[in-house]
A and B are shown apart, each in its own frame.
Chain A
Amino acid sequence: MYSSSSAPGHPPWQAQSSYSSNQNAYIQVPARQTFGAQPPLPPPPTYFPPQHYMASPPTNTPPPPLAPPAKKKMNWSPDVRDYVNRSFAQTTALPGITKEHIEAKLKEIITEATQSGRLDTINWKELPLPQQLIQEDRNRALLAPVPPPYYVPAVPASAPSTTTYQPHPDAPRKRKSTELSKEAGDATAPPPWRTSAQSSGPLADRVSFAPSDKRPKLDMTTSVSKSSASLESRRRRFEDSRAGSNSPRTQESSRGASPEAKVTGPIVGRCQKLEKNYFRLTSAPNPDDVRPLEVLRKTLELLKKKWRSDGNYVYICDQFKSLRQDLTVQHIKNEFTTSVYEYHARIALERGDLGEYNQCQTQLRELYKQNLGGHPVEFKAYRILYFIHTCNQTDMNDVLSDLTPADKKEPAIKHALEVRSALALGNYHKFFKLYLTVPDMGAYLMDMFVERERLAALACLCKAYKPDVRLRFVTEELGFESDEEACQFLLDHAPEDSSHLLEEREGDVRFLTGKVGSIFQNAKTRAFGLVDIKGQI
């Protein structure tokens, strides 16, 4: 008996002929291997499962009798005719099972019976009707145990579920699908990257379990109603193309299948190496190069250790990127994912790599939304500081709209918000006090903009204070460590010919604010003009 996820609408001879050609990236005219009737149009754009995924042994026997224009007229026994009639009778109809389903199942049953030569031996009167068989299949699938979440989606990709490769005309344009024009939608082969992935080894090698005993699991991975719906729509399209009709129906049914038509599914990695260099993917990943979760956990520990001992940022960043990539291609989305992104974000912060940090931050925001653990408060605070740095009012507004009243009470977030408001109001006094008390790694972010805020404060000081102030006052107000540091800062930002900024009088070093003119105003304008919005380095 075929399981419901194999293609029930297609007689086996098609499955065989197109399997032989599916290693190729291009459409091939299937070689006729039988003398049965061929459908008037080329076979549908489906990827047929290889034989060993089918529960029943495939055969090379003549085509099933239900094929429409069969040359050899079969003589059906009255029992079989009765069975068919009963299948379609109103009284035996079951809810949720359409006529098309029944037809397909019936075809399957009779084909199999014919091929195995049991047509006359089967007790057709006792045999359950097709709709009953379908119902049973569905129930069985529903009752089956559900595998762990990150593992589940891996199955349909490694096993050739037909829907996964279904190119459909309405999908958003992708690089690889340009050759699949709408007209070609009815006769397409698997895309090239798919075949290249296969060529790395026989299909069976890509699944880490014996296909036969895992077979029932295939059914549960997609919800039953979904998979049967997609199968139905696929068959309808097939029938339409056979009928040669170009009616609107054709398009509509292909649209109906669109939710299932995922371009890539997750994979399960088999790579046991801890370290791996990062390469940007240009084709589907090879499971041999992808590390499974247990390995990745060890990788993270190793990277942490290496970062502490060597501190080689270029190496660590590269390793983290490949780690993130492996998580992504396997669709691993759990607390471990969050911790990887958090660790990478922290390292990037430490090295002032705002570009990488921003990537992690964006991902973390989504991960926190799904409550996958981690330290949302800490990183929300960083996010606020980050947008202070980029001076982007629109983004800051978005951040503020994301905060809940509870968030605002958290010390780290409260601190970041105070920093923001202090700067908005020009309150440099408060800003530099906050700079000295910033929690966690926020100081790395504040370091990014503290210089320009010092210039802004100096511009303000110089305009407001006449004729001079003590250097000590500048040191304290602008959060310098020492008078020397303050002095150095002033001199660094003043043009060389302006030596009259500082003066020693009565044992005090005085900053002659009245004579500064627009030096710091100009320096401030320059400093704010330099902000790179993306923060990339």
Chain B
Amino acid sequence: MGSIFADFQQAQRVGNGRLLASCLAPIDTAQDPHRLISFAQLSNYQTISSDVRYYLIQAPNAVGLSKAEANAWVDIFVALWKTVKELVGLRQGNGTGDWVRAFDSYKELCNLLVRGYTNFGFQSWTVPCLYVAGKYIRIIAMKADSEVKPKDANGSAFTNGFSDDIMGDVNKHEKLEQAAWTINRMFTVCLSDRSELAESRKWGIYSTTNLLFKTYFRLNSISLTRNVIRALEAASADLPPLELFPKSHRCTFKYYRGVIDFLQENYTEAEQHLTEALNLCHKDSLKNREQILTYLIPAHVVNHHQLPSHALLSPHPTLSGLFTPLFNAVRAGSLVAFDEALTSAEPELVKRRVYLTLERTRDICLRNLFRKVFLAAGWEETKDSTTGEVTGKIRRTRIRIEEFEAAMRVGYKGATDVMMERDEVECFLANMVYKNLMKGYIARDRGIVVLSKAGAFPGTGV
């Protein structure tokens, strides 16, 4: 009679949160490939409430829950049944199912679940229910939004009551926004639990945080993640240390923290978080590793001026295809190749939000070019100041600006629309010095660059 109820009773008996949570997932399982349809056919709108009540409370094998708690579970499963009913209808494709109704029912489930924690004494071991409910409300919301669009495209622009401007927020993500709101409630329910750590819902905090991050990213309202991070930081004293949380929670959390820092141009913190995420990430989950590397590599290049090795990129052909031409150009100091690689990859890089960061690596490309000028400038003999004896040789450190100008013309060889001016070359030289990529100074009156005798190009061996 519906493996869902059997699982529920079993989970309640032994206190298995994951098993309990799996009951709330509106999917078929490997054990019960017809779980949804059999659950949907269990009852009808008139009798579902009493039927669920029977299976949860009155059945002979039912565990004794307190009255309030049992009632809360009944409501939750009624909401689940309504969702499943829609989903089964959708699967049958006979027009009886609707994503929007499915979403509304599942949102009801989530709200009832949250209320179960706040009002009806759900225990902390049931917290995995929040993960599952949060996961599916997000998925269903996105489905519902993609359904609504064609139908409501015309009216939605005007739904905004008394706003002064004609285009209110055109709501393409109405349901997902509601989902974000619901998940935010789950987050609060986890964060605000004051019971002892062993019995605390705080153990659900990073899972719900991750869901919230995910949803905000999808809504393209990344600024909202700041509130979440602030709330976490404010509560950090009361939270269990991050290391004690499941690896999956930690890895995802670190990834999002890293990306958020990356987008705010805090590359040092971003690199830290993303490195941790990479270390936590399972070695075979290539997709996740690729996601992490998408941000970690640019952050690392900007921070340390080190390019990724072939071995690091080779398992990820997409990423490699995007990054390799660019980094080859950086290595070679070829400005024209760099510009071409950046332009051709621009749409993809913009989509991944790394374009503006990678653009900065042009400095390193230019540094490499100027370094070649330095290397090509040759050697000078050093003489003992008193005897005039030749004691050895060092690289020539006084280089005419024309030499750098020539290098830039070489760097742009093949480019048609670039006009190099001497002042512009000077400007780039000044930038190199300013950014500590090159040590020395420009003596403008003499038209030369005076480079440091010890390490003119820091970190490059010369």
Taking a contact as CB atoms under 8 Å apart, the answer to whether B355 and A400 are in contact is yes
A450 in contact (CB, < 8 A): no
Binds A, one of B6-14, B20-28, B436-444: B436-444
User: Within the complex, which residue of A247, A425, A430, A459 is in contact with B46, where a contact is CB–CB below 8 Å?
Assistant: A247
Contact residue among A280, A331, A424 (Cβ-Cβ distance under 8 Å from B158): A331
Asked if B165 and A262 sit within 8 Å, CB to CB, the answer is no
Give Cα distance in the complex from A426 to B223, angstroms.
27
With A252-B101, A259-B151, A259-B152 already in contact, the answer to whether A397 and B350 are too (CB < 8 A) is yes
Contact segment of A103-111, A268-276, A320-328: A320-328
Q: Are A281 and B101 in contact (CB under 8 A)?
A: no
**Contact flag A264-B164 (CB < 8 Å), given A247-B45, A248-B82, A401-B350:** no
Number of A-B contacts (CB under 8 A): 143
| Among listed B123-131, B203-211, B356-364, B390-398, interface-contacting one | B356-364
- B429 contacts A464, C-beta separation under 8 Å: yes
Q: Which residues of A contact B351 (CB under 8 A)?
A: 401
B431 close to A (CB within 8 Å): yes
What is the distance, in angstroms, from B88's C-beta to the closest C-beta of chain A?
15
Q: For the complex, what is the distance from the CA of A153 to the CA of B163, rounded to whole Å?
A: 17
Q: How far is the CA of A171 from the CA of B165 in the complex (A)?
A: 22
**CB nearest neighbor in A for B178:** A172
Which A residues are in CB contact (< 8 Å) with B359? 421, 424-425
B54 at the interface (CB under 8 A from A): no
CB contact under 8 A between A394 and B170, given known A281-B164, A477-B427: no
A459 surroundings in chain B (CB, below 8 A): 434
Q: Is the interface of A mostly helix, strand, loop or mixed?
A: helix
CB of A170 within 8 A of CB of B104, answer yes
Bound: A362/B164 CA distance, A: 13
Contact B442 A464 (CB under 8 A): yes
Contact of A424 among B356, B434, B435 (CB under 8 A): B356
Asked if residues B161 and A394 are in contact (CB atoms below 8 Å), the reply is no
Q: Are B161 and A328 in touch, CB under 8 angstroms?
A: no
- B151 nearest CB neighbor, chain A only: A259
The answer to whether residues A263 and B159 also contact, given A401-B350, A425-B363 and a CB cut-off of 8 A, is yes
On whether A469 and B444 interact (CB within 8 A), knowing A324-B164, A325-B164, the answer reads yes
Q: Residue B441 contacts which of A426, A465, A477 (CB distance < 8 angstroms)?
A: A465
Query: Interface code B268-311, partner A: CB below 8 Å = 1, 0 otherwise?
Result: 00000000000000000000000000000000000000000000
Q: Is the CB of B104 within 8 A of A248?
A: no
CB neighbours of B164 from chain A (8 A): 280-281, 321, 324-325, 328
**A255, CB-defined interface residue at 8 Å:** yes
Which of chain B's residues have a CB closer than 8 A to the CB of A464?
429-434, 441-442
Task: Say yes or no: A328 contacts B163, CB within 8 Å.
Answer: yes
B residues less than 8 Å from A461 (CB atoms):
430
- Residue ID in chain A nearest B357 by CB atoms: A393
A257: min CB distance to chain B, Å:
12
B104 contacts A394, CB within 8 Å?
Answer: no
- Residue in chain A with minimal CB distance to B155: A262
- Using known A-B contacts A248-B45, A464-B430, determine if residue A429 contacts B163 with beta carbons closer than 8 Å: no
Taking the closest CB of chain B, its distance from the CB of A292, in whole angstroms, is: 16
Q: Is B265 an interface residue (CB 8 A)?
A: yes
Q: A262 contacts which of B158, B430, B433 (Cβ < 8 Å)? A: B158
Interface presence of B340 (CB below 8 A) = no
CB pair A393–B441 under 8 Å, yes or no, is no
Which residue on A lies nearest to B82, using beta carbons? A248
Task: Point out the residues of chain A lying under 8 angstroms from B104, CB to CB.
Answer: 170, 255
Q: When the two chains form the complex, which single residue of B45, B347, B350 contacts A249, counting CB atoms closer than 8 Å?
A: B45
Distance of A464 Cα from B429 Cα, bound (Å): 8
The answer to whether B430 and A460 have CB atoms under 8 Å apart is yes
Residue of A nearest to B154 (CB): A153
C-alpha spacing A467/B431, complex, angstroms: 17
Instruction: Give A residues with C-beta under 8 Å from B.
Output: 153, 170, 172, 174, 247-249, 252, 255, 259, 262-264, 266, 280-284, 321, 324-325, 327-328, 331-333, 337, 359, 362-363, 366-367, 393-394, 396-398, 400-401, 421, 424-430, 459-461, 463-467, 469-470, 473, 476-477
- Ranked 7 nearest A-B pairs via Cβ: A464-B430, A366-B167, A466-B441, A429-B427, A464-B433, A281-B162, A460-B434
* CB-defined A-B contacts under 8 Å, sample of 9: A248-B45, A252-B101, A262-B159, A324-B165, A366-B166, A459-B434, A461-B430, A464-B441, A473-B444
CB within 8 Å of A: which residues of B? Answer: 45-46, 48, 78, 82, 100-101, 104, 151-152, 155, 157-159, 161-167, 170, 178, 220, 222-223, 263-265, 346-347, 350-351, 353, 355-356, 359-360, 362-363, 421, 423-424, 426-435, 441-444, 450
